[in-house]
Amino acid sequence: TFVADAAGGFVCDDVPPGPTLVRVDADGFSPWFRRDLVVPAEGDLAGVTATLEGARSVSGRVLAADTGRPVPGAWVFAVARGAKDAPDGGRVNPLVNLETGPDGAYVLAGLPPGPVDVAVSLALGYKNAWQDPATAKKEGVAAGATGVDFRLVPLVDPSAPR
């Protein structure tokens, strides 16, 4: 961890030559990542500019489609769209994930402005975003949105009588 000076400059000493990942965090801003940087064998890696964007959040609840009850302990994530098209092409799409609370509520914070994809990656006993994208995934949600709710379909127990 390195702290920037008043002008935003920083120096990372003793980084071994080769590929490196840089992450920049600042209160009130979305994290900034670069994965395409290479520290030269001789000399320094210089001229890296991190352009930080104000942080946004997405919030909502995860509920059972059949009963309307909250689904606590479900894992929800949001990933920013379009970061690979940014002028600094090695930028990594920011990803935020967390577990829903007892009331099924979640707040995914630290997202950059713009569209994000939000989905449920795991909810025991329910279909997730890969099994049922129609109910467990929302694409192009505006960062800053509230009330982004999911109504998950229960998994059917194959051994249950029909």
In tens, the pLDDT along 101-116 reads 999 999 998 888 889 9
- Confidence band for 5, pLDDT divided at 50, 70 and 90: confident
3-state secondary structure of 49: coil
For residues 13-51, one letter each, b for 16 or more C-beta atoms within 10 angstroms of the residue's C-beta and e for the rest, the string is eeeeeeeeebebeeeebbbbbbeeeeeeeeeeeeeeebe
The angle formed by the CA atoms of residues 135, 119 and 69, to the nearest 5 degrees, is: 55
Neighbouring C-alpha atoms within 13 Å toward the C-beta of 122: 5
| Mean pLDDT of all residues in 115-124 | 95
Among the ranges 6-15, 22-31, 49-58, 145-154, which has the highest mean pLDDT value?
145-154
Q: How far apart are CA 25 and CA 13, in angstroms?
A: 18
